[in-house]
Structure 1
Amino acid sequence: MSDRKAPGFYRSGRTTFFASRMDQRFSYCCYVPEGYAPDGDAVYPLAVLVHGSLRDAATLRDEFIDFAEANQCVLLAPFFPCGIEEPGDLHNYKLILYRGIRFDLIVLDMIEEVAELYRLDTSKVLMHGFSGGGQFAHRFFYLHPERLMGVSIGAPGTVTLADPEKEWWVGTRRMEDIFGRLFDPEAMSEVPVQLVIGAQDIETWDVTVGPNSAFWMPGINDSGETRIARLRALEASLAGIGITPRFDMVPGVAHIGGLIKDPVKAFFADCLAARRSRGI
């Protein structure tokens, strides 16, 4: 067994943060289940958890430890600080491409980096993001459906619709020109999709995009006034290309990511069970 498959104390259990080897401005932490044996043979699935604007990557990771233990799944939580390239910027990673930085490629490399440390099947991973992380997750889904075992999109403030007539990032027009990735509804249709939100997630103060925002472009607010309306618009646009997402609305919950995790864990467990049933 190679030493790189036998992580030490700081790479076991709730790991510390490690700088990305691709771009050291960014980092990640993991959770490795207690049953992981450095000299074992078991290969583990990987769940990628993408934080929101508060950058609570470690908290998000910790909220899924019970799932990781119950399903023997390794967790990876990237961390993307504010103020990259522009002081005070809050949004960078949510748009995937920001001032020349490809956040999708950084996450893909983080996946490969941890695959060199642990026995993982990273051909397809689970992904969940809440709020800003939900923005990242559904845009990553458009770009890399072949890398996803399942994607859980939680309460995004803005949505990119599956509409090749609308410019990226309102729609998917010119996606290939911008990212070198085809818009591929057939590949997307093979990925289980969850849309999840609190039933009281109805505030608009952090949802409506003003003309001075880095997010601004014509049509950016047309998908609805609230996160619920925008998630329903995303649901409808996915239905238009033959995808029927699972829609979970959690009663009595506002915009609080920690309170919508149970349906996400259930969705992830279903994705893992389906993969096992196919003998993968």
Structure 2
Amino acid sequence: MSNPAHETPGDANARAQALYDYGSTTVFASRNDPRFAYTLYVPPALQAPSNDVELVVAMHGTGRQFIGYRDAFAEFGRWNNCMVLCPLFPVGVLGDGNRSGYKHLIEGDIHYDRVLLDMIDEVGSRYGKTFDSFALFGYSGGGQFVNRFAYLHPERLWAASIGAPGSVTLLDAGRDWWVGLRGFEQRFGKRFDLDALRRVPVQMVVGKADLETWEITFQEGVGSYMPGANDAGATRPERLKTLQKTFEAAGVNVQFDELPNVAHNGMQAVEAVQEFFAKTLRARRARTVR
């Protein structure tokens, strides 16, 4: 047994790395913008000279349960050789108490899609990996983020799971952003690439008992209200089914999972999401081997 009193600085650093940088890690501030943070699950496979490690990103909802999602995906990461990245986008980054800015990708001068992509580059640099594509899951407010991120960066996704969003952006160029896609290029400076989205395996997942509407019914003049904000339906299942219809009408295949006896609880959806990601990952790796 080693004696900590006789450890060299190198020994101590190695012990610290093993404790804080692998497995379920500590929380890191983003190097490009330390207002934002993230935690990771780093699988043992990443330490092998040759490995086949993929990246899964789990985006929190309004409750910011990013540690909980890291823990919920840890076993999946271990057995499927996946690193798991769970960002934290805090409430009120601009000092205004706004809980929802990240859900629409842009808040003031913050582009949350770029914040996430910077985090992915940072993590890749730290662990000697390049993640050109990744799987993205989010539930509730995180589901809104995934819905809109998939429009903006479909080329970066090997899978997308949209979980129980309270509001949806329909794949409909006849409606103004954020209800639809009209004005997308002017807002983001990038053309919407439907062909790239058609190549992304998409899951939509929601609890069949997720029927409360108090948090998701838009009132005129409040928050991000705009005309048409409530048109997709009254409940989360209704809104997600409307989103599914617009995806499929545009040629985007969707696996729709409506979970029996589940209300608005992201942790209860994790198993279905992991099954979807595992299936997609097996097919992805099989294509790579050929």
Shift in Å, 1:214: 2.4
Structure 1 runs (4+) greater than 6 angstroms displaced: none
Is the contact between residue 160 and residue 170 of structure 1 (CA under 8 Å) also seen in structure 2?
yes
The reply to whether residue 24 of structure 1 matches residue 31 of structure 2 is: no
Larger Rg: 1 or 2?
2
Correspondence for 1:229: 238
Matched AA of 2:74:
I
Tell me how large the CA RMSD over aligned residues is. Answer: 1.6
CA offsets, 1:90-132, max 9 Å, x none? 1010010111210000001101110011243411101100000
Shift in Å, 1:54: 0.3
Question: Unpaired segments of 5 or more residues in structure 1?
Answer: none
Q: TM-score, normalised by structure 1?
A: 0.95
C-alpha distance in 2 between matches for 1:211 and 1:84 = 25
The reply to whether residue 198 of structure 1 matches residue 212 of structure 2 is: no
Is the contact between residue 46 and residue 121 of structure 1 (CA under 8 Å) also seen in structure 2?
no
Moved more, 126-135 or 6-15: 6-15
The reply to whether residue 101 of structure 1 matches residue 115 of structure 2 is: no
Correspondence for 1:144: 153
> 5 Å matches for 1:1-280?
7-37=17-47, 40-279=49-288
Shift in Å, 1:267: 0.6
Is the contact between residue 43 and residue 121 of structure 1 (CA under 8 Å) also seen in structure 2?
no
CA offsets, 1:117-158, max 9 Å, x none? 124341110110000000001100000000000000000000
Question: Unpaired segments of 5 or more residues in structure 2?
Answer: 1-12
**Secondary structure, in 3 states, of the residue corresponding to 1:36?**
helix
Shift in Å, 1:32: 0.6
Larger helix share, 1 or 2: 2
Q: TM-score, normalised by structure 2?
A: 0.91
Matched AA of 2:139:
F
**Secondary structure, in 3 states, of the residue corresponding to 1:264?**
helix
Aligned residues: 275
Moved more, 130-139 or 235-244: 235-244
Q: Percent identity?
A: 44
Moved more, 86-95 or 136-145: 86-95
Is the contact between residue 44 and residue 121 of structure 1 (CA under 8 Å) also seen in structure 2?
no
Shift in Å, 1:8: 4.7
